[in-house]
Amino acid sequence: IQLTQSPSSLSASVGDRVTITCRASQGISSYLAWYQQKPGNAPKLLIYAASTLQGGVPSRFSGSGSGTDFTLTISSLQPEDFAAYYCQQLNSYPITFGQGTRLEIK
């Protein structure tokens, strides 16, 4: 199952609302997770089951979607949110990741 993330990069300012989309090549129910990764670090789980916020993750992060179309929204960007974001499908093997979205400071 291929995951296509868009955009591949994004420039935004603190306080902006941003949305990242992830499209699956076939239906994956809600078996989709979102991760944040900062340089030199392991990925950090943000959202699983498409819309469930992982404990400890700020509520400005939200996820939605099911089937083939999913979104990650950050309601008001904070300085610590500038990072790379990846979607991941866990509906079937091989598990696949989107190609990533690099979120940069404008």
Partner 1 sequence: QVQLVESGGGVVQPGRSLRLSCAASGFSFSSYAMQWVRQAPGKGLEWVAVISYDGGDGYADSVRGRFTISRDNSKNTLYLQMNSLRVEDTAVYFCARYEYGDNGRYFHHWGQGTLVTVSS
Q: Are 23 and 73 in contact (CB under 8 A)?
A: no
What is the rounded distance in angstroms from the CA atom of residue 87 to the CA atom of residue 57? 16
What is the rounded distance in angstroms from the CA atom of residue 11 to the CA atom of residue 66? 27
Q: Which residue, 18 or 88, has its beta carbon nearer to partner 1? A: 88
Residues that bind partner 1 (CB under 8 A): 30-31, 33, 35, 37, 41-45, 48-49, 52, 54, 86, 88, 90, 93-100
Q: Which residue, 79 or 93, has its beta carbon nearer to partner 1? A: 93
Q: How far is the CB of 33 from partner 1 (least distance, A)?
A: 4
Q: Identify the CA nearest to 52 among candidates 43, 66, 63, 60.
A: 63
Q: How far is the CB of 97 from partner 1 (least distance, A)?
A: 4
Q: Are 61 and 47 in contact (CB under 8 A)?
A: yes
Structure tokens at 54: 């992982």
Q: Which residue, 12 or 45, has its beta carbon nearer to partner 1? A: 45
Q: Which residue, 35 or 61, has its beta carbon nearer to partner 1? A: 35
Report the relative pairing of strands 9-12 and 101-105 from DSSP bridges: parallel
Q: How far is the CB of 13 from partner 1 (least distance, A)?
A: 25
Q: How far is the CB of 14 from partner 1 (least distance, A)?
A: 26
